[in-house]
Structure 1
Amino acid sequence: MLHAGHTALRYFISFVTIPVTFMIAMSGFHLGFWISLVIAALVYMASNFIIKVYQRYKKRKQFGLTKSEYNHIEAQIQEARESLYNFNRMATRVRSISGFKHLFEMSRLSKRIISIVRANPPKFYQAEIFFYSHLPSAAELTEKYAYLSKQPIKDTEMHLALQRTRDALEDLFVSLEKDLRQILAADIEELKVELDFVTRRSERSSKEES
């Protein structure tokens, strides 16, 4: 997915077109000030759009994704970021220190998974259940947990409801850890292969020297 660097570069290049277009319209075509300014603004918007389309195209080609695949993954990442925002917002309302620490770790795992998929979109397919189920469920349960924990009623039924919610969040925490391991599995395996290759090459070099 496009990151802040893409955005900064796009806006910088587009911004440069404003004075250039304005001067060409004023000096080259002898147009009025306001007309030249409008033309410069239109060129700025057009260049911004064209550069963004090109950046997205290059990103798709880099990872071998179709346009529909890229758009779908991008939409899922956006939804995940919104779910994570809601999750974090609800987590700050939890009064229990231990509960907050637990939710903080869940947030950290979720943020890491989203970050990895943003940097390498094809990894989305290794963590689809995270985007479709685990993170949305965590956000919903955290909202319910924060709501229940603030209620003045502390009877047996309320304690049981809170405990069941904590247990469900604990299960989701384990699921998030599995999601992250699943995403990193291929990278870990690739690293093992590279380390084995380096080790064998070092052993051969040692034998040849001896």
Structure 2
Amino acid sequence: MFKKITIWCTGMLITLVSIPILATCFDIYGDWDNFIWFSLGLLLGLIYVTISLKRLKRQPEYKKDQHISPQMLKHYQDAGMSDDEIDFFRQTMQQAEAQIKVLATNMQALPKLRAIDLNHDTTKVSQSLFRAIVKDPKRLHNAGDFLYRHLPSINELTSKYIEINHHEVKTADTYLVLDKSAAAIDALSQQIQQDYADFVAEDVDDLDTEVSVAQQQITPDHKEED
């Protein structure tokens, strides 16, 4: 709501500022009715408001007062997060959750996308990475590429792929674009796999270390038995 009010106020400011600027640029201020300049300024303001509202509509809205369970609140507090950090984290993850739901739907929409999802477990890996981030919220910055680049990009590509694939008439250029899009979606799916591997690499290393220590403790016993 605050963002919408800000957009409308900015639109009004653009309208008021653009009227004298337009008149000065054309150097005919006073030769034309002021209504013309007001109309042009209002048009610029409305164009700004329309474009800004469309962009805002694409982003999942975060509800700050959304209920948080005592267990999750304690989890975040135990991680040493402040109230502002918790709000930012929950906002980010709420948007990511919405994007992953879109991804899951898109990847099942067409046979080609289902094949990519099957080959790379794109949806499952994204869901697993989401849970891993929630488990370790202080490492949110380590998942920046996934959250802000790869996930939005693959959603945009899959949505466009589905849209173009549903065109009733397809030309050679259409099929070429579809092939390129599928290759890009496949590459992004592999990148998301790498994002997950990078994020959990520390846990894997810790487990490997624990296994090595355990093996060292077990080996002498076996030697004594021999």
| Conserved? CA contact 2:106–2:113, under 8 Å | no
**Structure 2 residue 133 is matched with structure 1 residue 117:** yes
The SS at the match of 1:127 is helix
Equivalence for 1:79: 95
**Structure 1: which 5+ residue stretches go unaligned?**
1-48
The two structures, once aligned, show a CA RMSD in angstroms of 2.4
Deviation at 1:106, TM superposition (A): 1.4
Greater relative contact order (Cα < 8 A, sep 6+): 1
Whole-angstrom distance in 1 between the partners of 2:135 and 2:222: 39
**Structure 2 residue 147 is matched with structure 1 residue 102:** no
Whole-angstrom distance in 2 between the partners of 1:184 and 1:54: 26
Equivalence for 2:78: 62
Matches within 5 A, 1:135-174: 135-174=151-190
1:36-79 CA distances to partner (integer Å, 9 max, x unpaired)? xxxxxxxxxxxxx9x95854542223222233222222211111
| Conserved? CA contact 2:100–2:126, under 8 Å | yes
| Conserved? CA contact 2:150–2:191, under 8 Å | yes
Whole-angstrom distance in 2 between the partners of 1:202 and 1:53: 43
Equivalence for 1:194: 210
| Conserved? CA contact 1:60–1:67, under 8 Å | no
The SS at the match of 2:170 is coil
> Amino acid of the residue matched to residue 162 of structure 2?
A
Q: How many residues align?
A: 159
Whole-angstrom distance in 1 between the partners of 2:68 and 2:195: 31
Whole-angstrom distance in 1 between the partners of 2:163 and 2:131: 29
With normalisation by structure 2, the TM-score equals 0.63
Quick one: percent identity of the two aligned structures?
21
Is the deviation greater in 130-139 or in 67-76?
67-76
Cα 1:98–1:52 change in 2 (3 A) is closer
Judging by fraction of residues, say which structure has more helix. Answer: 1
Whole-angstrom distance in 1 between the partners of 2:217 and 2:223: 10
| Conserved? CA contact 1:138–1:169, under 8 Å | yes
With normalisation by structure 1, the TM-score equals 0.67
